[in-house]
Amino acid sequence: MFNNLDLYWSGFLRSLGIIGWSLVGSLLLGTLIAAFRVSPVASLRAFGSAWVTVIRNCPLTIVLFFMAFGLPEIGINIDFYWFGVVGLIIYTSAFVCEAIRSGINSVSAGQAEAARAIGLPFTQTLTQVVLPQALRATVPPLGSVQIAMFKNSAVVGAFGVGGDLWQVGQTLTSARGFAYIPVLTGVAVGYLVITLSAGALLAVIERKVAIAR
């Protein structure tokens, strides 16, 4: 492990890239789907409900297989790295959606009614009145969802995105013949650094939110 720190470091940075893109993408997509689920438009509510039901009840590997092997059959060909990232975003967005929706439901109905009473349309009511309050309530569940996503990024690595921590472990054990225990210990340490750092940051954000309340 110590003789290949440069390889582990490059894999660590590659995994951080997957996590960073997936974090931003899943938050944006999940928030949009949550907005669909509480929309006054029936077709949007139906779409949001179907999205969450289907994605949440599919294993991550099925979503990734669909992205990596299904989309090329209909002419969509991009790098496996982006197939993996998009698949992880889609999968995580369903869980983000439900976390945010629970926060929206925790906001008093009087807040939305007051916004409508002064003439605000649904979009402004949601973005300017409801969501800012809802997001404070969803910090703990959103944090748990994202930390789970950080660990799920290892599954993305198994689909050949190349260069991430999982692939480093595969290279050192399969190609170079090193023992599994020390190699996978190094991989585990890398993911522990990511998840423990995220947990510490989440705790700080929770305290800030509690003070703001």
Measured in whole angstroms, the distance separating CA 82 from the mean position of its chain's CA atoms is 14
Lowest mean pLDDT among 26-35, 55-64, 75-84, 138-147: 75-84
The reported pLDDT for the residue numbered 160 is 65
Scan for tokens 């590997």, then name that residue.
61
For the stretch 175-200, pLDDT in tens is 677 888 888 888 888 889 999 998 88
Residue 22: count other Cβ atoms within 10 Å of its Cβ: 26
Dist. CA 6–CA 21, nearest whole Å = 23
User: If you write DSSP's letter for every residue of 139-200 in order, what string do you get?
Assistant: HHHHHHHHHHHHHHHHHHHTTT--SSHHHHHHIIIIIS---HHHHHHHHHHHHHHHHHHHHH
Question: Residue 105: enclosing H or E segment and its boundaries?
Answer: helix 80-106
Cα gap 92→132, rounded to integer Å = 21
3-state secondary structure string across 5-28: HHHHHHHHHHHHHHHHHHHHHHHH
pLDDT at residue 161 is higher than 80 = no
Span 1-25, average pLDDT: 86
User: Which helix (H) or strand (E) is 132 found in, with range?
Assistant: helix 131-137
Q: What is the mean pLDDT of the chain?
A: 85
Binning pLDDT at 50, 70 and 90, where does residue 119 land? confident
The pLDDT of residue 207 is 80
Question: For residue 48, what pLDDT is reported?
Answer: 94
CB atoms within 10 A of CB 85: 23
**Residue 16 contacts residue 195 (beta carbons within 8 Å):** no
Between CA 141 and CA 20, with CA 153 as vertex, the angle to 5 degrees is: 70
* pLDDT above 80 (res 152): yes
pLDDT at 211 over 60: no
Please write the tens of the pLDDT for every residue from 17-39.
889 999 999 999 999 999 999 88
CB atoms within 10 A of CB 93: 26
For tokens 């595969």, the residue is 170
